[in-house]
Chains A and B, each alone.
Chain A
């Protein structure tokens, strides 16, 4: 049975903060989550280190369900398009 979890970071996901998100996502995966939704409503900026955390998470769970991102700003959608990650993640 699929276990869905939603994570809502309330900080910008950059090199100085991405470990916080990484630890939270890893904890949910260890606890059995296989459908992870990241709510970006409070995230204004994500850099390549933050994107790397999302890629690692996606690679771990993608056989069950691609990583899902919701409430993504137009700026961050642009970044996902530049990196072509919008072809891999489910972006809403």
Chain B
């Protein structure tokens, strides 16, 4: 049975959902609404793309699209730093570079992490590498 839960925390949002791409879209939308509410000065396009990439990777590569496995996402903003932690139930990557695209080769796979880094998010793999942590320095919009 598919599940989707979202909880508001002191500084952000916590999500837990079954491995289904519709829930990826739903989570991205909620996160965008959160940064709008807080007037955070971050490109909604950049955040949407980074979230799509990291959440889709968790569903596809981490949980192998198994709907009985869940994705956990914790987005929070603290001390001018927006952090997004995504955890799946997979085995993790064998190498931090495993998802990267070979430079100069036009391949239809492996672009996701390059895109995240290209959008200037700090990207860290934690623990057994089934956790990805994205960070970006973000202030409140001055207007």
Contacts and interface: CB of A to CB of B under 8 A. Distances in A.
Interface stretch (A24-32, A33-41, A52-60): A52-60
Given A47-B52, A48-B111, A75 B25 contact: no
Q: How large is the interface on B (under 10, 10 to 19, 20 to 34, 35 or more residues)?
A: 20 to 34
Contacts of B108: 51-53, 55-56, 59
Task: Provide the main secondary structure of the chain A interface.
Answer: helix
A26 to B, nearest CB: 13
Interface residues of A, number: 22
B106 A45 contact: no
Interface of A: 14-16, 44-45, 47-49, 51-53, 55-56, 58-59, 75, 79, 82-85, 88
Interface of B: 21-22, 24-25, 43, 45-46, 48-49, 52-53, 56, 59-60, 101, 104, 106-109, 111-112, 114-115, 118-119
